[in-house]
Each structure stands twice: as C-alpha cells, then as structure tokens.
C-alpha cells in the first residue's frame, strides 16, 4: 500500500475548478447590461454556419426541509408551500425577460434541475416548472441529457412519472455515506433499503442512467467504514458515481460549524480512502473519469472519456461538448464562450431585479483571451487527468513549452514525486497524481498565483 503520509504536504487550499477563472474572481461590475451583451456575442457564434452554439439549461430549486451539515449548496429551509409557488412565479418572470435578450430557439442539449431539493417540489409544481422551460426553449435535441438531483427522502412514484413525462433520462441520488454514525453526524439519515426502493422506482420508469453522489472525508468516516459503504453502493448497481472530497468551509457555510472538526479523517487517510475507492471500483467494472467520477464501461460517459470528448461545467461532466449554460433561479451560474454570470443569492435582491424587468445578475466576469487559453489548459487537466499540447497549440497558435515555460518549471516537484511526467507531447499524471489533479491544475491559475498562500480561502485539495 502507498505511504500517503508523504503526500500530506499537498493538502492545500485549492479551487475545485468548476470554472476558470474561479467564482472568487467574479465581480459586481458584470451586471445586467454586461450579460445582455454576452448573450448577443454568444448568439452570433457560428452565425455563418448551420451549427449555432447549443444550449445547456440549469434551473436552481433552492428549498430544503432541513439542513444537511456537509452541504455547501445555496439553500433555503422551509416547509411552506406558498414559498415554492411564489418562487415558480418569479421563474416565469425571469424566463420572460430572458426571451427578450437571447435566442431561445437554439438547440438544447442539456437540462438539469439542481438545488436544494428539486423533489421537495410536489408533482404539480414540478410539472409547472418543466412546462415553463419547454415552452420557453422549444428545441430540445432528441438525445438531450435531461437530469435531476434526487434526495431519496423526498421522492416518490408520482414525481418520477412527472419527470419521465417531462423527458428526464438521468437521475442523481444524494447518498453521501451509508454508515449510520456518519449519517447522524451530518444530519442526513437514509437507509440502504430507502435508496434501493428509489432506484427501483427509477428503473421501473425506464431510467437507464443513474448516478450516486458520495463524499469521502466526512466526520467519523474511516477507511473501513467507507469500504463497507462502497460494497453496499455497488450492490445497487448505479451506472455512474460522483465521489467528492468533502469541502469543509465553515467560514462560508454556518451549518458546517455543527460538525466537530476533530472527527474529520486526516489527509493521509482520505488519500488512502480514495486509492481504495479507485482500486475497488476498477475491480467492479467502473472506470475512473476525470477527477472524481466513475462510470461503467458501457456508459457513454466512459466512452466519451476514451475519445477525449468530455467537458466539465457547473452541472458536472457532459458528453455533449461545449454548450452555453443558461442559469435560471436564485444563485444559479451561467457560462458562455467568454463569460460567467451568477444570479443573486438572496431572495429579496433576486425578486427586486425581476420586478424591475432586469436580469437578476449579481456578479460575473468577461473572459480575456488569456483567461480562455488557461481555462482550456485547466479544464483539459480536470477532464482527462492529462493534457495534449498539440490541441492547445493548434487552437490558440502558441508554442506550449514557450508560453508556459514558468508553469512547466513549477511542475518539476510533481515529476520528482512521481505524480506526473511531461513529454514533448503533453502532461500525463500517474495514478496518485490523478488524485492530486487540483494541485497540478492550480499551477496554471494566473489569478491564484497573485494571492498570498495564507490568504487563499478554498477547501483543502486533500
């Protein structure tokens, strides 16, 4: 077994790189007008061909009944139905504003409900939101990825019927861990039997792509306990697994302060858990995809990975290539070829903007040419755990070795630690290096290099 104690030094404050530049670089200078201009630019991409930039739609449904202490999502805790109905009325208004400033006739290749707990909305409410989206964006591709996050504690057959009739073909179940002590420590108790029942419901409606979200690094979690969780997970035969390193950021999320930090597993144990996870799942016919995802060899996610066609966005990995993400609802994030945008995080500001007839933009960023180059490098590493120099060179007309001379020199320590190798063709991580891909990617982060190490406020990379 690998001695992971020697890699503890790599447990650093590091972004997760769901975007580049990261969200800390978003600014309030990017406002409603900046987003309108971005829509115009992105509407006109490939304007002289038959292939307009496709769309990816994200709808944030922020409500939960109670707090899960590990959760870093933007949520509102409530049990009141009228709050959900009011929220839908504002989504409708937001869609009306969107229609004024962008081409909603473009093809939709991806649509995702996130939260919060999307299935905390009842069947009538779910159908209303689906109908609103599809009436606004009428051109869904036949092979569109249409997915929903599911809390097994709030999911039933009637909701599944609404989702199926709405074209949903992928579900992602929040499992996290099956150990009873861990579940109690994070305030999220759900049995194997409950999750199994939910999977049976989904399979009964013909859902052929089911993902489980798991988290390692949770309180009271051990190498042995997570090994048992993995065995129970595999027995339920999900098609995909997203296994994340717990991001403990109590300065951002007050509910995380309820977690006793002394019960969190140390970095070397987390690395050991991750190594076992990779080895075990390989034996169970799951292939590692990018930094934290696994898929059966029969799943199109794995096939896309082999062909180098994976893309990463705020919804996770997609097999549909790059698409412009339109974020709708409280706190949702959008992405285009040359911008990121985020809606207001508090309900009062969100509603006030919409009542004023403007897009509810709180902040964002327009990408420079330098940002776009570095984004492709960082996302290439995060997607594939390797990087092909020729692809970057041909796209941006640069010599990679000259352009990134300083960064390649900074990677020397990772070469000496047998975490990666660099050839004339590209960067290639070793199996252990793949576990530390955030550390490797951050070398290319121009913004991060300007922030003193003791002032970096991200979750630990290990």
Q: Is residue 173 part of a domain?
A: yes
- Whether 280 and 165 share a structural domain: yes
- The last residue of one of the domains, among 323, 345, 366, is 366
Please give the residue that has the higher pLDDT: either 73 or 196.
Answer: 196
Helix (H, G, I), strand (E, B) or coil at 325: strand
> Do 76 and 63 meet the contact criterion of CB atoms below 8 Å apart?
yes
What mean pLDDT, rounded, does the chain reach?
91
- CATH number, domain with residue 422: 1.10.10.920
Phi, psi of 55 (to 5 degrees): -110, 145
Structure letter (DSSP) for residue 21: S
pLDDT score at 297: 86
Q: Could you report the per-residue pLDDT of 335-375, keeping only the tens digit for each?
A: 999 999 999 999 999 999 999 999 999 999 999 999 999 99
Contacting residues for 31 by C-beta, under 8 A, at least 6 apart = 361
pLDDT score at 31: 96
Q: Which domain holds residue 418?
A: 369-455
How far apart are the two ends of the chain, measured CA to CA in Å?
A: 18
Q: Is residue 94 part of a domain?
A: yes
pLDDT band with cut points at 50, 70 and 90 for residue 5:
low
Query: How many domains is the chain built from?
Result: 2
| pLDDT score of 211 more than 70 | yes
SS3 annotation, 273-306 = HHHHHHHHHHHCCEEEECCCEEEECCCHHHHHHH
- The last residue of one of the domains, among 318, 340, 366, is 366
- Whether 97 and 169 share a structural domain: yes
Q: Could you report the per-residue pLDDT of 212-258, keeping only the tens digit for each?
A: 999 999 999 999 999 999 999 999 999 999 999 898 889 888 999 99
Question: Environment class of residue 367 by beta-carbon count within 10 Å: exposed (0-12), middle (13-18) or buried (19+)?
Answer: buried
- Whether 131 and 201 share a structural domain: yes
Q: Could you report the per-residue pLDDT of 285-308, keeping only the tens digit for each?
A: 998 887 788 999 888 888 887 777
- Whether 310 and 322 share a structural domain: yes
Q: Is residue 6 part of a domain?
A: no
pLDDT score at 433: 85
Distance between CA 327 and CA 324 in Å, rounded?
10
- Whether 191 and 294 share a structural domain: yes
Do β-strands 361-366 and 339-343 pair in parallel, antiparallel, or remain unpaired?
antiparallel
């Amino acid at each position: 077994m690998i001695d992971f104690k020697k890699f503890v030094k790599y447990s650093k404050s590091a972004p997760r790189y769901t975007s580049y530049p990261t969200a800390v670089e978003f600014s309030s200078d990017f406002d409603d007008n900046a987003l309108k201009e971005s829509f115009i630019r992105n509407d006109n991409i490939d304007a002289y061909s038959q292939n307009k930039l496709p769309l990816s739609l994200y709808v944030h449904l922020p409500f939960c009944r109670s707090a899960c202490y590990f959760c870093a999502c933007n949520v509102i805790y409530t049990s009141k139905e009228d709050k959900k109905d009011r929220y839908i009325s504002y989504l409708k208004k937001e869609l009306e504003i969107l229609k004024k400033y962008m081409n909603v006739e473009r093809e939709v290749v991806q649509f995702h409900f996130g939260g919060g707990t999307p299935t905390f909305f009842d069947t009538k409410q779910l159908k209303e939101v689906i109908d609103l989206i599809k009436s606004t964006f009428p051109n869904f591709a036949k092979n569109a990825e249409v997915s929903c996050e599911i809390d097994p504690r709030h999911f039933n057959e009637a909701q599944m019927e609404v989702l199926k009739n709405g074209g949903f073909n992928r579900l992602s179940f929040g499992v996290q861990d099956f150990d009873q002590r861990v579940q109690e420590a994070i305030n999220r108790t759900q049995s194997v039997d409950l999750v199994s029942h939910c999977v049976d419901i989904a399979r009964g409606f013909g859902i052929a792509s089911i993902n489980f979200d798991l988290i390692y690094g949770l309180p009271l979690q051990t190498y042995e306990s997570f090994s048992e969780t993995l065995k129970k997970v595999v027995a339920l035969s999900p098609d995909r697994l997203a296994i994340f390193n717990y991001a403990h950021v109590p300065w951002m999320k007050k509910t995380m302060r309820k977690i006793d930090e002394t019960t969190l597993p140390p970095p070397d144990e987390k690395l050991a858990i991750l190594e076992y996870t990779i080895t075990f799942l390989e034996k169970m016919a799951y292939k590692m995809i990018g930094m934290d995802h696994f898929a059966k060899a029969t799943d199109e996610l794995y096939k896309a990975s082999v062909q180098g066609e994976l893309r990463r966005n705020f919804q996770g990995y997609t097999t549909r290539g790059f698409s412009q993400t339109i974020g709708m609802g409280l706190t949702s994030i959008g992405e285009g070829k040359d911008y990121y945008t985020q809606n207001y995080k508090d309900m009062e500001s969100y509603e006030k903007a919409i009542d004023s007839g403007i897009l509810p933009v709180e902040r964002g960023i327009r990408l420079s040419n330098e940002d776009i180059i570095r984004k492709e490098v960082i996302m290439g590493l995060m997607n594939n755990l390797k990087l092909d120099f020729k692809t970057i060179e041909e796209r941006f007309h640069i010599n990679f070795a000259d352009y990134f001379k300083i960064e390649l020199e900074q990677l020397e320590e990772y070469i000496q630690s047998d975490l990666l190798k660099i050839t004339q063709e590209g960067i290639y991580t070793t199996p252990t290096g793949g576990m530390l891909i955030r550390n490797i990617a951050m070398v290319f982060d121009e913004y991060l290099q300007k922030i003193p190490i003791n002032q970096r406020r991200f979750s630990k990379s290990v």
